[in-house]
Structure 1
Amino acid sequence: MHDIVIVGGGLVGSSLAIALDGCGFRVALVEAALPKVSEQPSYDERNLALARASINALTALGVWAHTKGQAAPIERIHISRRGEFGAVNLVADELGLPAFGAVLPARELGNALLHRLDACQSLERIAPAQLTAIESTADTIELSVREGERERRLSTRLLVGADGTGSFVRGHFGIGVQRTDYVQSAFVTTLTTEKPLDGRAFERFTDSGPVAMLPCGRHQAGLVLTVPTEDSDRVAALDDTAFIALVHERFGYRLGRLSRPGKRKPYPLARVLADRLTAERMVLVGNAAQTVHPLGAQGFNLGLRDALSLSELLIAARQENSDPGNADLLQRYVERRTPDREATTSFSDDLVRLMGNKSAPLRVLRSLGFVALERLTPLKRRVALRGMGFRGDVSQRALSR
């Protein structure tokens, strides 16, 4: 009998398991892949822009020490739109901040999480394993898990669905989703730059979609190039020279000549929001709860805040000797996460639509908005702090330095 079973050993599920280690509850983590460094399928070659609050939390959880100094700080952010006047320059030092966050390859964060999971004393890790069935009773949830040729039964007082956008857990409980197809695909890769990035990140909006350039080293950038889905096959077929030419056409030459693009493939972009975050003795976190457009780099940061909030509520419940799956606790989770979730997902969606609109009057208004924001330092600082994850009911671990 377990108190909590987390289904999904990706970035968010692993973070939650680590946050609960040693709290007194019997916790199991059901992972699809073998728990070995670099073998988790979700630990791909994306470069994650980690908000300052996320770095604070990962430090408090003992994860950040395992990244081995491979993260590159984000100290400046340049935001512009092709063909329009005005730009916004966010400079951490000028706003009294050490850095807005840092860029780390998803694989390296995944490896750091796995190293930290290895040190967990009270966590049962079940892998490779697949959840095949769920049955609810009044006091528990019964799970059928396949480990190779073996079927195993688990009982838990709380089931956590951290199993991604296509969540099996969410589907079993009949929770629908609101899906917005952006009719865009993102190409994610790395590039070598002629000019040093020196901690600079760029968000460049164009009529064909946004382009993001993230600092991964002095002359290495992480690229997110968004194209209309109907154009994704053509872009995927481009050789390195033609692909670089396309990036220059969309991004310009702010970093000099670009070269040596890495492997790349298109990721279709859509917003997927669960209609509910909970059911009886079940809660959703991370991409199972919401999957957002990569614009603004809020996906993992938002999911980590889910994990932090849930862990704090569960730890408090353990101290009070309460049932981790009781309805009141789950309702408190919903109330705590709803403002941040709604604000972040709406901001991401609104930004995609606002910056993608090609109407002439809106072009002028956007440019004037850029000019105004550039001149209003207090507003810039407020925008920066929100982007750094300091919004709403912030976890104590995220506030740690």
Structure 2
Amino acid sequence: MFDVLIVGGGMVGASLAVALKPLKLKIGLIEAFNFGVAEQPSYDDRSIALSYGSSRIYQGMGLWHKLKNGVENIQYIHISDRGHFGATRLAATQEHVPALGYVVESRVLGKLLYDELSADNTIELLVPAKVFGVEQTADYAQVSLERAGVVDTVQTRLLVVSDGVNSTVRDLLGIATTRREYHQTALIANVTTAEQHRHTAYERFTPNGPLALLPLTEGRYSLVWTHRDEEVAATMALDDAAFLRKLQAEFGYRQGVFTKVGQRATYPLVLQKSVGEVAGRAVVIGNSSHALHPVAGQGLNLGLRDVATLADLLADAARTGADCGDADLLADYAQRRQPDYAAVLQYTDTLVRIFSNDFAPLGHARAGGLLAVDRVPWLRHWITRQSMGLRHRQARLSRGLGLAV
């Protein structure tokens, strides 16, 4: 019998498993694919934007000192609207923090989490395994899974569902979702510019959607370029030179000439939210609960705040010997997370709707808004704290504090 069984070993699920290690609980982690040691970093590594708040969560987990040499810090954020006057500039010095956020290759963070999962026998890894059934009683959840052709069942006091946007286990639990199609696709790649990035991130809004450049190690930028669904194939079909010319026309010359682009990939953009987080002794977190547009880089950071809040409540339960799957504990979790969900989903969705069109009068209003944020300290402070993940109730990990019982 597990105390906590996590389904999904991505960034959020693995982070929760590592966060719970000090609590002396019996923890299991189910993942559909084998974990593996990452190869040497390459130009084409996919990247993750970590908010300053997320860096404090990893600090509380005791991982930040191992990760910080593999990240690039964001000191400045420049926000503009293509074709309109006005911009907003955010700076770490204005908020008295070491950085507004950080950018890290997925493989760097993934390898660190895998090493932590494998460091001792605290966590039982059920890998690779696929879940095909869930049943619940008043005392436990029973999970049916298949490993190497062998069918087995395991039981747990608390089942944590973190197996992604198209979550199989969420569906097995009967938790519905609401979904909004943006009819947009994100094109991602690593690019290099003639000018050094100087720790500056850019969010440039265009009629097709936002275009973001995030500073990476080795002088690179991570590009997230939003396209209308019907237009992305044409951009993907361009050779590198033509691609860079098109990107230059969209972004401009603030960073000089774009000189290199790596491998490109795309993924569709949606807004999806589970209808509730709890079903019996099960709770959904991360992308299984919420999937966002990448504007403002909030997705993974929202999931890591799920981790921090749930770990906080489980630490309290471990201290008193309480049931990890207690209904009151899970209701408390859901209640604590709602304000953050509501604010972030509304924030990102509003940005997409306001900035992803070319209605002329609205363009002038947007320009005025950007100028107002740039010139009004309290408004700039509000936006910056939202971006850094610091506007809502802070769990212990979110304050950089450990969970040792």
Considering the TM-score relative to the shorter chain, is it more than 0.5?
yes
Structure 2 match to 1:180: 180
Structure 2 match to 1:118: 118
Partner amino acid for 2:96? Answer: G
Structure 2 match to 1:134: 134
Name the CA distance, whole Å, in 1 between partners of 2:226 and 2:356: 11
Residues 136-158 of structure 1 deviation map (CA, whole Å, 9 limit, x = unaligned): 22211111111112222101111
Three-state SS of the structure 2 residue aligned to 1:333 is helix
8 Å contact kept, 1:283–1:330: yes
Superposed displacement of residue 35, structure 1: 2.3
Name the CA distance, whole Å, in 2 between partners of 1:247 and 1:206: 12
| Unaligned runs of at least 5 residues, structure 2 | none
Q: Kindly report the root-mean-square deviation, in angstroms, between the aligned alpha carbons of the 2 structures.
A: 1.5
Number of corresponding residues: 397
Name the CA distance, whole Å, in 2 between partners of 1:243 and 1:180: 29
Name the CA distance, whole Å, in 2 between partners of 1:314 and 1:179: 30
Partner amino acid for 1:152? Answer: D
Partner amino acid for 1:178? Answer: T
After the TM superposition, which of the residue ranges 301-310 and 167-176 deviates more from structure 2?
167-176
Superposed displacement of residue 84, structure 1: 0.7
Superposed displacement of residue 218, structure 1: 5.9
Name the CA distance, whole Å, in 1 between partners of 2:68 and 2:32: 26
Superposed displacement of residue 68, structure 1: 6.1
1:316 aligns with 2:316: yes
Structure 2 match to 1:379: 379
Name the CA distance, whole Å, in 2 between partners of 1:324 and 1:294: 33
Superposed displacement of residue 120, structure 1: 4.5
Partner amino acid for 1:265? Answer: A
After the TM superposition, which of the residue ranges 187-196 and 27-36 deviates more from structure 2?
27-36
Structure 2 match to 1:367: 367
Name the CA distance, whole Å, in 2 between partners of 1:311 and 1:135: 24
Partner amino acid for 2:361? Answer: P
Residues 6-43 of structure 1 deviation map (CA, whole Å, 9 limit, x = unaligned): 0000000001001111313211011122222239xxxx
| Unaligned runs of at least 5 residues, structure 1 | none
8 Å contact kept, 2:277–2:334: yes
Structure 2 match to 1:190: 190
Structure 1 match to 2:28: 28
Partner amino acid for 1:150? Answer: V
After TM superposition, the structure 1 = structure 2 runs for residues 218-229 of structure 1, keeping only pairs within 5 Å, are 219-229=219-229
8 Å contact kept, 2:60–2:396: no
Partner amino acid for 2:228? Answer: P
Partner amino acid for 1:205? Answer: F
Name the CA distance, whole Å, in 2 between partners of 1:117 and 1:96: 34
Residues 214-247 of structure 1 deviation map (CA, whole Å, 9 limit, x = unaligned): 1103631110111100112111111111111111
8 Å contact kept, 2:214–2:223: yes
Name the CA distance, whole Å, in 2 between partners of 1:85 and 1:221: 25
Residues 22-81 of structure 1 deviation map (CA, whole Å, 9 limit, x = unaligned): 313211011122222239xxxx93211110110111122133333361200000000000
8 Å contact kept, 2:140–2:157: yes
Superposed displacement of residue 357, structure 1: 3.1
Name the CA distance, whole Å, in 2 between partners of 1:164 and 1:218: 31
Residues 65 and 334 of structure 1, relative CA distance in 2, 3 Å threshold: same
Superposed displacement of residue 249, structure 1: 1.1
Partner amino acid for 1:259? Answer: T
8 Å contact kept, 2:60–2:399: no
Structure 2 match to 1:272: 272
1:63 aligns with 2:51: no
After TM superposition, the structure 1 = structure 2 runs for residues 78-89 of structure 1, keeping only pairs within 5 Å, are 78-89=78-89
Partner amino acid for 2:171? Answer: G
State the 4+ residue runs in structure 1 displaced beyond 4 angstroms.
none
Partner amino acid for 1:158? Answer: L
Name the CA distance, whole Å, in 2 between partners of 1:81 and 1:220: 23
Superposed displacement of residue 377, structure 1: 2.1
Structure 1 match to 2:98: 98
8 Å contact kept, 1:95–1:377: no
Q: Percent identity?
A: 38
Residues 159-192 of structure 1 deviation map (CA, whole Å, 9 limit, x = unaligned): 1100000111110111111111110111111011
Structure 2 match to 1:234: 234
Three-state SS of the structure 2 residue aligned to 1:158 is strand
1:12 aligns with 2:22: no
After TM superposition, the structure 1 = structure 2 runs for residues 298-377 of structure 1, keeping only pairs within 5 Å, are 298-377=298-377
TM-score, normalization by structure 2: 0.95
Partner amino acid for 2:394? Answer: V
